[in-house]
Amino acid sequence: MRTTMKSLRFALGMAAMMAVGGSAPAYAAGEGIEIPRQKWSFSGPAGHFDKNQLQRGFQVYKEVCASCHGLGLIAFRNLAQKGGPEFPEAGVRALASTYKVDEIDGEGKVVQRPARLSDRFPKPYKNEAEARSIHNGAYPPDLSLIAKGRSVAYTGSIWYHPVAMLRDIVTGYQEGGSDYLYSLLSGYKDDAPAYRRDGAKLIAVPDASVRRGDKSIVRCVAVEKGTAGKPDNCAPMADGMHYNSYFPGHQIGMAKPLSDGQVKYGDGTPATVSNYAADVSAFMAWTADPTHDQRKNMGWQVMLYLLITAILLFVAKKRIWREVH
């Protein structure tokens, strides 16, 4: 009986750990790529989206990302709702009218009409086959839920892992997808790291010291250390791929999408890759959870209600049982 109870407690403990960590990918400690954590206005139990940042993020999406990536789960009316970018409704209605959506008329034929506030953003391609034919076989993902579909890997010591998990629970850390997107968008490099061969070893060389046309330099996405006297092995960049410091494997098919001065902000925010990446990552976090602010506000109201109820119950208990005690 005692053994059975121990086994049951162990199973329940494992289930609880899986439930807590189920939203993040499973990596062994020390594996994966460390993603720096950013400061977001919407992080933590009391965090809320900054509508100005969301408006800038939508501008970056529309001018840079929308030509390849859809936003199929977001309706135009969401852009005017509270807790989001909060654009003026008239402006959103005018924006929607610039898009065409399919509709079946009275004769059963498919016709196109200008989009309305109730319509969702139309897909940039007619179908998946068209998208793959344009992008060399790759299929650009829809970005509606991309911030929920990506996360970060724990890369610290296995002994500190439980402490890190507890810290994330206490702080309500849910911004792994946003951290990953920011790092990905700002992590492009012009080329893979440079190495110079020294006998059997490949020695890393700073890019600033590499001269143009230096044939002793090799560019390696990864270096596999040789064993038993064998030379180090260099993994070169594949054709058509681009180097990214934070993408798994460091090779990504999407070309660098952002560069300084590419998008002109109207509010005076500096037009830098760092700001573009932060703004569009925050916008992607909102598209994945448009009711984020309302949900947190409701949570605080429930907590206040429970606190008041607990106080009233305590006072009532004392008054009812005071003669007994």
Successive 10-residue mean pLDDT values, the chain, 325 residues: 44 39 36 87 94 97 95 96 96 95 84 93 92 88 94 88 91 93 95 88 86 82 85 89 93 93 95 97 97 94 97 92 75
**Whole-angstrom Cα distance, residue 75 to residue 70?**
12
Whole-number pLDDT of residue 91? 96
Query: Do the Cβ atoms of 196 and 216 come closer than 8 Å?
Result: yes
Q: Residues 112-115: contacts with CB within 8 Å, 24+ apart? A: 115/76
Write down the pTM of the prediction. Answer: 0.83
Whole-number pLDDT of residue 99? 94
40's tokens: 């977001």
Q: Residues 198-203: contacts with CB within 8 Å, 24+ apart? A: 199/231, 200/226, 200/229, 200/230, 200/231, 200/232, 201/231, 201/232, 202/232, 202/234
145: closest CA among 305, 290, 255?
290
Whole-number pLDDT of residue 148? 94
Q: Residue 257, CB half-sphere, CA atoms under 13 Å: how many?
A: 23
CA 259 to mean position of chain CA atoms: 19
CATH architecture observed for domain 34-188+251-290: Orthogonal Bundle (1.10)
Whole-number pLDDT of residue 282? 97
Residues of the chain with CATH 1.10.760.10: 34-188+251-290
What SS3 class is residue 277?
helix
**Whole-angstrom Cα distance, residue 141 to residue 152?**
19
Whole-number pLDDT of residue 323? 75
Backbone torsions φ then ψ of 85, nearest 5 degrees: -65, -25
193: closest CA among 257, 248, 244?
244
